[in-house]
Amino acid sequence: MNGSYRKSFGQLLVEKGVISQAQLQEALDKQIPREELFLGTLLRLGFISDERRVYPLLADHLKVEYLDLKSSPIDRDVLPRVPVMMATHYKVFPVRYDAGAGVLTVATAYPQNIFILDGLQMAHPGRIKAVLSREADILEAIREYYGVGAETIAQMKGVLPGEGTPEGNVEDIEQIDSDASIGKFINQILLEAYRTRATDIHIEPYERDLKIRCRIDGVLYDTKVPMNIWNFKEAINSRIKIMSNLNIAEKRLPQDGRFKVKVGGVSLDLRVSFLPTQYGESVVIRILSSNRLYNMDELGLNAREQELLERLIRKPHGIVFVTGPTGSGKTTTLYSCLAHVNTADKKIITIEDPVEYQLNGITQIQINPAIHLTFSQGLRSMLRHDPDIMMVGEVRDRETAEIAIQIALTGHLVFSTLHTNDAASGITRLVDMGVEPYLICSSVECFIAQRLVRLLCPLCKKAIPVTEDILRVLREDVPEARPQTLFEAQGCEACHGTGYHGREGIYEFLSLNDAIREMVLARATSAQITRKAVEQGMKTLLKHGWEKVLAGKTTPSEIMRVTKDDMNS
């Protein structure tokens, strides 16, 4: 862009009230010559907050059509007319083709760049029509329609497993080589997962297909990948095994490993699991942030529940059980509790399977059944280290449960988890293991059941009137509720079209008071114990969930999704 162009477009923005005359002059002075568009300069300096408002003005100034890729229908049949390597190199996206006139329309952020148009002529000898679109929207469309890493796959003719990352060297996956390789493709998948806030990556082989799915806020979503990725499944698996220091020749047995990468200055700890299936090995990569800080304020507890939890974790002895299915946030809750009580005068030891996060000032042990280091064996040894507080990753059997109880009875505070649907079922689970009810009554302070619910995206959530059906269900659990409006998920760019952004816990606290202990000794059922606890003021998971719905944090359908198993049990 020449100086006269910048001035004329900048003056137009001044006339439209988008920027001031002083901002225009500052942008003209601070633009990096030949390295950025004038609009990019305005954005970099923070003079324009709503970028989409300016693009129609720029298109009108350039005398070209403006196309909002986010809201425009895309004809997938036109994609082959621009190869993915060319689309990625020139940062263009094909949007439509007029067969009668032989005109291919492409979206670009540089509609007057003749080098881009000349380059596209190599793939399409007919006429090229350029329309203006945001560069970020173009890159997102390339990922969505061609597939993540499609240009890398397209460049590879035949791939052998790459060399492994030297032990102790943490690779920065944003510093991706220009050379096409399986390593680069995997880095692109990891980077896409990180940018979309995914917690898990699932690589699943089928007869003639390889699916990649990411779990975002607890729900799996398909990741768009190139159609011919199935041809590279063995190379992908071998590369991940090398990165995880696993045996690449072993394909018949499950394997578990881990490796680290760095993105955006954040160190990610990746846990890898291989599982042999009918059509090859299925891989799951769990993404854990090594820089994660745990804070009880972020758990989603109200003031009363947080005060109750703080009283529990300040007790000198006893056991606190957190219950719930896999993926319900139990480990996060326990780590937040440990971080809260982690002071210089406390000795804290944990035994886990696996150690998900490293906590400074806390001694953490990873169990290893291959050498007979189990939860029960580790617990016995931990006592010799004079701990004040201990955490057992999970109570799975009678031996571990009874050792934990004996430790609590000898003056230690113990945290642990159980896999049960609700708080009261934790009692019956221990009894089913063979633990005597009197031991439960004398050692356990509280059972805390929890689930994670997705939070509505604050930028796109939509208010809806309360229907009679919703009101009828609501009043069964919260009779006092009189809502006028609730909210539903919509989906926008910020939440990647899901309508949700982040998760928060819902909880059920069952404290063992005298009345509950009498019922435990009488071997009452979990349903009987729950009814008694509710009479005494216990808030169920469902009721806590409805409170978040009434507060506009989530939706009725989300609460039903995460609590339906409890409703049917």
Q: Which of 28-32, 245-249, 495-499, 508-512 has the lowest mean pLDDT?
A: 28-32
Specify whether the CB–CB gap between 455 and 559 falls below 8 A.
no
Nearest-angstrom CA–CA distance, 170 and 180: 20
CA-to-CA separations, 304 to 243, 301, 482, in angstroms, rounded:
46, 8, 22
Q: Which of 19-33, 89-103, 269-283 has the lowest mean pLDDT?
A: 19-33
Top-confidence residue, 54 or 279:
279
Q: Which of 32-46, 337-351, 356-370, 455-469 has the lowest mean pLDDT?
A: 32-46
Top-confidence residue, 530 or 50:
530
- HSE-up of 341 (CA within 13 Å, CB side)? 24
Q: What is the pLDDT of residue 141?
A: 86
Q: Is residue 269 classed exposed, middle or buried when 0-12, 13-18 and 19+ CB atoms within 10 A define those classes? A: buried
Tell me the average pLDDT of the chain.
84
Q: What is the pLDDT of residue 167?
A: 42
Top-confidence residue, 468 or 423:
423
Top-confidence residue, 58 or 401:
401
Q: What is the pLDDT of residue 505?
A: 93
CA-to-CA separations, 378 to 320, 366, 408, 551, in angstroms, rounded:
19, 9, 15, 44
Question: Average pLDDT for residues 407-422, to the nearest whole number?
Answer: 93
DSSP bridge partners of 201 = 214, 285
With 80 as the cut, is the pLDDT of residue 150 above it? no
Nearest-angstrom CA–CA distance, 209 and 222: 13
DSSP bridge partners of 452 = 505
Specify whether the CB–CB gap between 342 and 385 falls below 8 A.
no
How many other C-beta atoms are found inside a 10 Å radius of the C-beta of residue 287? Answer: 20
Specify whether the CB–CB gap between 469 and 517 falls below 8 A.
no
Closest C-alpha to 477, from 541, 404, 389: 541
Top-confidence residue, 310 or 38:
310
Burial code of 176-215, b = ≥16 C-beta within 10 A, e = fewer?
A: beeebbbbbbbbbbbbbbbeebbbbbbbbbeeeebebbbb
How many other C-beta atoms are found inside a 10 Å radius of the C-beta of residue 341? Answer: 15
195: CB partners within 8 A, 6+ apart: none
pLDDT digits (tens, 9 = 90+) for 101-137: 888 888 888 888 888 888 887 777 778 888 888 888 8
The three-class DSSP label of residue 456 is: strand
- HSE-up of 87 (CA within 13 Å, CB side)? 28
Top-confidence residue, 351 or 175:
351
pTM for the whole thing? 0.72
Q: What is the pLDDT of residue 229?
A: 85
User: Please, which pLDDT band fits residue 274 given cuts at 50, 70 and 90?
Assistant: very high
Q: What percent of the chain has pLDDT over 90?
A: 39
pLDDT digits (tens, 9 = 90+) for 26-42: 777 776 654 456 777 77
Specify whether the CB–CB gap between 223 and 192 falls below 8 A.
yes
**H/E/C letters for each residue in 86-106?**
HHHHHCEEEEEEECCCCEEEE
